[in-house]
Amino acid sequence: MKLTNVLVPVVMLLLALSASAQTRQPLPEPGVILWPKLEIGADYSYVRFPATTHFAARHTLLGGGGFLIYNWNEFLGLRGEVQAYISNKGAFVLPPSSTFPAGAAGTSQGNMITYMVGPEFKVRSHFVQPFGNLLVGGAHTNIYDILLKPLCQPTAGSCTTKAPTAESFALEFGAGIDLPINKYISLRPVQVDYLLTRFANPFTRASIQNSFHYSAGLTFTLAWGTY
């Protein structure tokens, strides 16, 4: 299934929800400060994910996802997001070892999902709204199942018992900007983050991956708060 086949209906749904919220929202009284209370969005994401061994190249992860933000005031909110990616196909060569006496070679490709929550701080203005966030949560990948099962069976059937983990702690922090199109829709042209995951790999004793994350998308206001 193509990513655009999923993202286009999601964006259309968000546009409909934003239009519905616009028709229901009453105008504020004079002197009342109005800010987005509930925001929802969809984005396209790119991750440059490092391999856990120097025998394999870095992976390019492409995907997208969505986020929901509940704002306590005009500056501080709580953000929850889910992102899903598929990697490019990468080649690797393993040297001879106790697990693979004759060495091994192959290609790897798989999916990764992250799910995180944390605070987001935003400075709101009429033209440019910079923001920053710090999110913690988890990550899941199926790449090790796809890679190791066919690799281990013909050479070392027991190596799957010490396969790298499929679940990991995840932490992400970064910043970006929103460009308001109107009171209800904002364009997010850039968000750049550092993404940390801890997929343990007993073959290489590596357990930390430091990734670069870029995303862009749209943000929609569904409800408003006032002072």
What whole-number percentage of the chain has pLDDT above 90? 44
CA-CA distances (angstroms) from residue 8 to 69, 197, 218?
21, 29, 12
Coil, helix or strand at residue 106: strand
Q: Per-residue b/e over 114-133, b at no fewer than 16 CB within 10 Å?
A: bbbebebebeeeeeebebeb
What whole-number percentage of the chain has pLDDT above 70? 60
Residues 6+ apart with CB under 8 A from 204: 52, 53
Which one is predicted more confidently, 120 or 23? 120
Q: What is the pLDDT of residue 199?
A: 81
Measure CA 130 to chain center. Answer: 19
**In CATH, what class is 51-95+103-226?**
mainly beta
Q: What is the pLDDT of residue 106?
A: 65
Residue 81 sits at the vertex; the CA angle it makes with 80 and 84, to the nearest 5 degrees, is 160
In the predicted structure, residue 187 carries a pLDDT above the cut 60: yes
Tell me the DSSP string of 190-218: EEEEEEEE---BTTTTB--EEEEEEEEEE
Q: Across residues 16-38, what is the average pLDDT?
A: 63
Residues 6+ apart with CB under 8 A from 28: 34, 226
Q: Per-residue b/e over 180-210, b at no fewer than 16 CB within 10 Å?
A: beeebbbebeebebebbbbbbbebeebeebe
Residue 81 sits at the vertex; the CA angle it makes with 215 and 190, to the nearest 5 degrees, is 20
Mean pLDDT over each residue of the chain, to the nearest integer: 78
pLDDT digits over 105-155, tens only? Answer: 666 667 889 999 999 999 998 899 999 999 999 999 877 665 566 566 555
In the predicted structure, residue 2 carries a pLDDT above the cut 60: no
In the predicted structure, residue 1 carries a pLDDT above the cut 50: no
The pTM for the full model equals: 0.74
Q: What is the pLDDT of residue 90?
A: 63
